[in-house]
Structure 1
């Protein structure tokens, strides 16, 4: 199964044929007027072959390639800007498990391609794939650049909201679970710069994912146990391509990846001197974002799901911070992309400014419960089902910018097809888990029956 969407291209390794990979390489080089293309990848074994295949196509089309090796997706995004590249490609399937792999495409501004650009790229690669070009440019080259992670870390350490010495003086004890993914080296090296005592688990580049790789609470048992057994101050879990950050408290409890952005937001809004503070997030992110924003007289703008939608709106409105409730923090002072390194630094700065533990800090943060249901899409069409769903909901208000979101006071349900998997996502939020499950139940039942 090959999924070509706003989030790039994903499929089983067997679906990512040489023709598909090369045709995307030719099409992307054409789109970017490729002179220099930056490439990075996560740790999946198939990534090396895919990288080499697409490099051949890029070189053949006249583009030189800067190979960053294994590194986080945000490292590639930063490198595109830092190296003044024409564009970038990341070989990754993000949080998808093996045997998935894929391609993400980055424009010259360091942002992912938007829906219109991805649609052009998809159509062009299909045209090219009918009759792949022969090699034209034998002088184009690929060079290995080994300092990309260091460049990225140095940029994080320059974030104006950080007091590096203050963090260093705390000597935080931190457990890191990189799921043997792309951040296996980057996060520990950043923490070393911040004078943290690091306890690494699953921080290898030559081992498979030890568990389901998405950093959801149900997948973080090993991290939770290690935080408790070592008396650590905090635990960080990162997804396979290093753009999402989930957190475990000093009590060994996952705080939900929704609250990574909330904590980062609290720190940034407390320090920003911008008189018109704006936070941008997507429609499925926790209402706690709005609560924190009110504390600092900031405004929240919500967008459709997808990093590019959030990032473009942030650039448009000059937002001070943004991101998504999947653990993705976007800070314009670093770059306009979800970044686990940025999230790590901001959260540690927040902790360094108080005398309380993370578990005690969380008691002061507005708390909601989000339920994230995934159902097989089947043959059901969301648009044709909308009248029935509206009748079921009897909501106070409705948003149809991305799927359909039903909103009531202090609770909501968001129903939408996934951009990355053949599923329907039904997210709900309310002050308690019982309430969140209750408000989502009629919609889950509807799709169970009709799909």
Structure 2
């Protein structure tokens, strides 16, 4: 399998793609782009992360860098630590939702956010030319093992203004029973500890922290059957699923029904906008940013609270850059990623969890009741192998829907009064993603089928 480089970093399969020399060269190149200071390292728990981390650490030490390792922690914990420690940068060793035979590196700059296109281009150039900063000094810094990162992450969340003593009391009084599926990875410790701090009873389903995935690790409905069953079995109030590096959050309601990954960001946005007075916004109205592939239910929630909605290209850094530019109060992606600048600029399942529990507790709602208050749209997502000219595909999609409004910049999106359809090349896989949303499931499927036919034409 080829190495995949994207706005989300580097991912490759073990044995034929993610080789030691590739890791070392990438890390050495990354180091040349950083200011002075220590580098923070964490990994998502998959077993291959152990040897990958040794190569990462060794390379950085050889460059004369101080290395701080956090162990098995969520990617957002690495990001927040970089920011709080004023480190030079960080690396999260993860392949996100990819299966166990994959691993990778997410590169984080001194501000605690992922490398953007310009920074990634510089990194690839530095790697290509191989001009690295290996130290000639005989002595090297020792590795700092930091075991407080998750604790500090949780503290930072609970210190946010929205979590006043009164609101925390309401959450704790609910005594919510919550089942957690962390796919035995980086959320295994972080999510349960956050929930316990909020007075919840935690049922740990897959929280071993050994990186051995009990099922396909992407937190989408088809992979969450065991979580749904456990929620029903133990009569829980809800279920929480996160991906291996715990930047995505997906929920199961008290009836054991998945509410869908798109609903996470909608509920989190509603939690913030309904408590906007506690956030120090500097804009005339609250601004929200999501990507072009996120549900239009976000539009409805923003309209309800008089907020302005902007959409960016898919990819966390694209959302973050737009949020920073517009001074957005909250943002994220429909894949279950919640970004709250008041905490830090990164998708964060812990932040999303806390915001949604706040929403449920302060409004005396069950998850299913909260979900029913959100307008219902039907979203259909498929993937298609496509190795031809993307511009020809996008132009053909525009021609297919002459009555729609085309939006370019992230593949092609065609918007209609009650629906939309998008085709875009994946940032992390060699495929084209086709997504459609409509009030009618049948019509959403028909939109996807129409684009799929274009993809399949020889």
Short-chain TM bin: over 0.9
Report the Cα offset of residue 356 of structure 1.
3.1
Q: Which residue of 2 aligns with 1:257?
A: 261
Question: Which residues of 2 match residues 176-325 of structure 1 at below 5 A?
Answer: 176-273=180-277, 274=281, 275-325=284-334
**C-alpha contact 1:4 1:122 (8 A) present in aligned 2:** no
* Residue pair 1:60, 1:135 contacting (<8 A) in 2 also: yes
Query: How far apart, in 2, do the equivalents of 1:134 and 1:108 lie?
Result: 20
CA separation of 1:449/1:145 partners in 2, compared to 1, >3 Å: closer, same or farther? Answer: same
Match status 1:26 vs 2:33:
no
Identify unmatched segments of 5+ residues in structure 2.
none
Number of residue pairs matched?
447
Secondary structure (helix, strand or coil) at the match of 2:255 reads coil
Counterpart of 1:150 in structure 2 is 151
SS at match of 1:240: coil
Q: Give distance in 2, aligned partners of 1:324 and 1:40.
A: 23
| TM-score normalised over the length of structure 2 | 0.95
**C-alpha contact 1:179 1:240 (8 A) present in aligned 2:** yes
User: 1-side partners of 2:75 and 2:287: how far apart?
Assistant: 25
Deviation, 1:401, is: 1.2
CA contact (8 A) 1:8 1:102 kept: yes
Q: Are residues 439 and 170 of structure 1, via their aligned partners in 2, closer, same or farther at CA, if it must alter by over 3 Å? A: same
| Whole-Å separation in 1 of the counterparts to 2:311 and 2:133 | 43
Instruction: Give the TM-score taking structure 1 as reference length.
Output: 0.97
Deviation at 1:141, TM superposition (A): 2.6
Shift of 1:230: 1.2
After superposition, what is the alpha-carbon deviation per residue over 1:257-302, rounded to whole angstroms, capped at 9, x for unaligned?
1110000100100111344110000000000000000000001000
Matched, 1:360 2:369: yes
Report the more deviating stretch, 343-352 or 23-32. 23-32
Return the alpha-carbon distance in structure 1 between the equivalents of residues 12 and 363 of structure 2: 45
Query: C-alpha distance in 2, partners of 1:183/1:126?
Result: 35
Segments of structure 1 that go 5 or more residues without pairing to the other structure are none
1:344 and 2:353 aligned: yes
Task: Name the residue aligned to 1:78.
Answer: 80
Question: Following the alignment from structure 2 to structure 1, what is the Cα–Cα distance between the partners of residues 36 and 215?
Answer: 38
Give 3-state SS (helix, strand or coil) of 1:43's partner: coil
Q: Indicate if the aligned counterparts of 2:32 and 2:132 stay in contact, CA closer than 8 A.
A: no
The 8 Å contact of residues 394 and 423 in structure 2, kept in 1 or not, is answered as no
The equivalent residue for 2:384 is: 375
CA contact (8 A) 1:262 1:292 kept: yes
CA distance in 1, matches of 2:365, 2:40: 42
Q: Secondary structure at the match of 1:263?
A: helix
- 2:56 maps to 54
**Structure 2 counterpart SS, 1:426:** strand
In structure 2, how many angstroms separate the alpha carbons of the residues matched to 1:10 and 1:292?
A: 35
